[in-house]
Chains A and B, each alone.
Chain A
Amino acid sequence: MKKTLFLALACTTLAGCTTVKPWEREVLARDDMQLDANALDTALDDHIYFSKEGTSGGRGFGGGGCGCN
């Protein structure tokens, strides 16, 4: 499907991007640059939005279902 194709293309072009060497990763290694920097906050938010909106997920796998009203 079109969206998957776009994603695959994006991946291959991105892979050709600059390569950052291990000794150049001092910024990327900082806590606030980690993709799970706000893990607890986003998990709690995702739980709220799961029970108040029609769409959920996409970011990763959360804690699973609830009978939220």
Chain B
Amino acid sequence: MANDKRIGGALAAAACGLLGTASPVRAPAAEPATKSTDGLWDVDTAFLYYGESDGRVQDASLNAIAVRDFGDDRKLSLDLGIDTLTGASPSGATASDQPQTFTSPSGRGTYTTNAGEVPLDSSFHDTRFALNAGWSQPFARLYTFNAGLGVSTEFDYQHVGANLGLTRDFNQRNTTLNLAVAYGQDKVKPVGGVPMPFSSMGDVVDDDVTPPSRSGDSEDKKVLDVLLGVTQVLGRHTLLRLNYSYSDSSGYLTDPYKILSVVDPVTGEPLVRTPPPGVEGPGGVYLYEHRPDARKKQSVYGELRQDFSGKVLSLGYRYSTDDWEVDSHTLEGRFRFPVGESSYLEPHVRYYTQTAADFYRYSLADGAPLPEFASADARLADLDAYTVGVKYARQTTGGNEWSARLEWYRQTSKAPAQTLIGNQPGNVQMPDFDAVILQFGYHFSL
């Protein structure tokens, strides 16, 4: 073709001659309005508020995930999150029929809990930044490769991680196999230093003095995760995903701020202690917890997505088991149905139940030999949790979407009977709580 000859007009005229009056639908100057979805950033943002009952933890966060398609299915995704945490969380000490005094983690001050209340440590005000970047691209007709890097940081904790994955399609893309591996390296730098296992909570110390019984400034933790999954199209309206995961954590897995109360072996009441004269300190004997330095976990997860003429039901189930004896079942369902022309409602329910870790203790008996590992963290006890919520979303004329989500979470835990001491049965107070989750989101293209 002559390099600078333009044929567009001639072609349009030729087409007109061919179709003539048989093609009345477009005005002569009509250009088809097509918009390709590649070459744009697809951004999903959300503001989330999480608030627990009774003055406990409150968290506010701002999050964004931005995905850019570079064509040919090559995608870059960037995920940014900032959250600030305030409020109090249970320290692991038991409630008592007397007020209790504790030293704060920094060792610089004390806090007191009223009689009959579960002790909460309110000294945490924390801001966390997290950034994840991921890349995915096909590298042969049926294979897709993905890789990601992530970092997160808060004043006493840092995380760096990487992941790699491969997917392969079969059966005219009705079946997809997925293999992924992730490795993470964390560093915990607790306020006041890393406490030695089962050391006693000490008295208040001066500003330039390290609290007693600290083994160092920081500790490391490594996590390796492997995931094998299959996604299977079961029909024109049905999709199923099944995953098997294996996770191996090692290093410092203890929570450096959590303690166990030492109690009288007969009454089950916390021991009473008087700090030395002129010194402030704990009014009882509290020992820092100690967890194993390894944890191996396996889980299977299944999710089914079913369309009912425009309404979508998704059901998920996960079973998890590990060598800490924490076994759990999670059952979750969402049902999305359109409301009007451009909105939808999506109710959501979730049920979670777990069995206690074999080293979970409600408290420790004075005079009894110390176990090798022990923790009174209620998150390792027998636990049940329910979530009920609903999401509402509305599309704007530009194709963007506003959404709001409100959920209510209730957690109840139980100390296994064999971990109770003396008169504790019937007197146990677990740090059960309710929480509300409120999220506002905006999904748009740049």
Give residues in A with beta carbon < 8 Å to B: 3-4, 7, 10-11, 14-15, 17-22, 24-25, 27-28, 30, 32-33, 35, 37-41, 43-45, 48-49, 52-55, 57-61, 63-67, 69
In the complex, are the beta carbons of A44 and B439 less than 8 A apart?
yes
In the complex, are the beta carbons of B354 and A18 less than 8 A apart?
no
Q: Which residues of A contact B159 (CB under 8 A)?
A: 64-66
- Chain B 335-351, CB-CB to A under 8 Å as 1, else 0, gives 01000000010000000
Please report which residues of chain B, range 148-181, place their CB below 8 angstroms from some CB of chain A when the two chains form the complex.
148, 150, 152, 154, 156-157, 159, 161, 163, 165, 170-175, 180
Look across to chain A and name the residue whose beta carbon is closest to the beta carbon of B67: A39
In the complex, are the beta carbons of B242 and A7 less than 8 A apart?
yes
B interface, over-half SS? strand
A48→B409 CA distance, assembly (Å): 10
Please report which residues of chain B, range 259-307, place their CB below 8 angstroms from some CB of chain A when the two chains form the complex.
297-301, 303, 305, 307
Q: Which residues of B contact A18 (CB under 8 A)?
A: 234-235
Interface 9-mer from B20-28, B44-52, B207-215, B362-370: B44-52
- A19-B172, A40-B441, A66-B157 known; A58 vs B301 contact (CB < 8 Å): yes
Q: Which residues of A contact B316 (CB under 8 A)?
A: 59
Shortest beta-carbon distance from B279 to chain A in Å: 27
Chain A to chain B: the 10 pairs with minimum beta-carbon distance, closest first: A67-B157, A58-B301, A64-B161, A55-B328, A58-B299, A65-B159, A54-B326, A55-B320, A14-B232, A58-B318
In the complex, are the beta carbons of A53 and B236 less than 8 A apart?
no
Please report which residues of chain B, range 46-87, place their CB below 8 angstroms from some CB of chain A when the two chains form the complex.
46, 48, 50, 57, 61, 63, 65, 79, 81, 85
In the complex, are the beta carbons of A44 and B247 less than 8 A apart?
no
- Chain B 367-395, CB-CB to A under 8 Å as 1, else 0, gives 00000000000011001010000010000
Q: Which residues of A contact B163 (CB under 8 A)?
A: 61
A28→B242 CA distance, assembly (Å): 17
Q: Which residues of B contact A54 (CB under 8 A)?
A: 326, 328, 354, 357, 379-380, 383
In the complex, are the beta carbons of A39 and B227 less than 8 A apart?
no
Q: 12 pairs across A/B with beta carbons < 8 Å?
A: A28-B233, A35-B231, A39-B44, A53-B383, A58-B299, A60-B229, A63-B79, A63-B130, A64-B182, A65-B152, A65-B221, A69-B124
In the complex, are the beta carbons of A41 and B244 less than 8 A apart?
no
Shortest beta-carbon distance from B152 to chain A in Å: 6
Shortest beta-carbon distance from B169 to chain A in Å: 12
In the complex, are the beta carbons of A66 and B239 less than 8 A apart?
no
In the complex, are the beta carbons of A55 and B330 less than 8 A apart?
yes
Could you say which of B173, B188, B305, B357 contacts A35, with CB atoms under 8 Å apart? B305
A28→B32 CA distance, assembly (Å): 27
In the complex, are the beta carbons of A40 and B44 less than 8 A apart?
yes
- A15-B175, A20-B236 known; A33 vs B152 contact (CB < 8 Å): no
In the complex, are the beta carbons of B46 and A40 less than 8 A apart?
yes
In the complex, are the beta carbons of A3 and B298 less than 8 A apart?
yes
- A41-B439, A67-B156 known; A25 vs B236 contact (CB < 8 Å): yes
In the complex, are the beta carbons of B161 and A65 less than 8 A apart?
yes
Q: Which residues of B contact A37 (CB under 8 A)?
A: 312, 314
Q: Which residues of A contact B46 (CB under 8 A)?
A: 40-41, 44
Could you say which of A10, A20, A39 contacts B235, with CB atoms under 8 Å apart? A20
In the complex, are the beta carbons of A52 and B379 less than 8 A apart?
yes
A66→B150 CA distance, assembly (Å): 12
In the complex, are the beta carbons of A66 and B152 less than 8 A apart?
yes
A45→B409 CA distance, assembly (Å): 11
In the complex, are the beta carbons of A66 and B242 less than 8 A apart?
no
In the complex, are the beta carbons of B242 and A61 less than 8 A apart?
no
In the complex, are the beta carbons of B336 and A32 less than 8 A apart?
yes
Could you say which of B89, B236, B243 contacts A59, with CB atoms under 8 Å apart? B243
A21→B235 CA distance, assembly (Å): 10
B414 part of interface (Cβ distance < 8 Å): no
Look across to chain A and name the residue whose beta carbon is closest to the beta carbon of B357: A54
Shortest beta-carbon distance from A33 to chain B in Å: 6
A69→B90 CA distance, assembly (Å): 9
In the complex, are the beta carbons of A59 and B301 less than 8 A apart?
yes
Q: Which residues of B contact A40 (CB under 8 A)?
A: 44, 46, 63, 65, 441
B315 part of interface (Cβ distance < 8 Å): no
In the complex, are the beta carbons of A48 and B50 less than 8 A apart?
yes
Look across to chain A and name the residue whose beta carbon is closest to the beta carbon of B354: A54
- A14-B175, A39-B44 known; A67 vs B299 contact (CB < 8 Å): no
B223 part of interface (Cβ distance < 8 Å): yes
- A4-B244, A44-B46, A44-B439 known; A19 vs B174 contact (CB < 8 Å): yes
A60→B316 CA distance, assembly (Å): 13
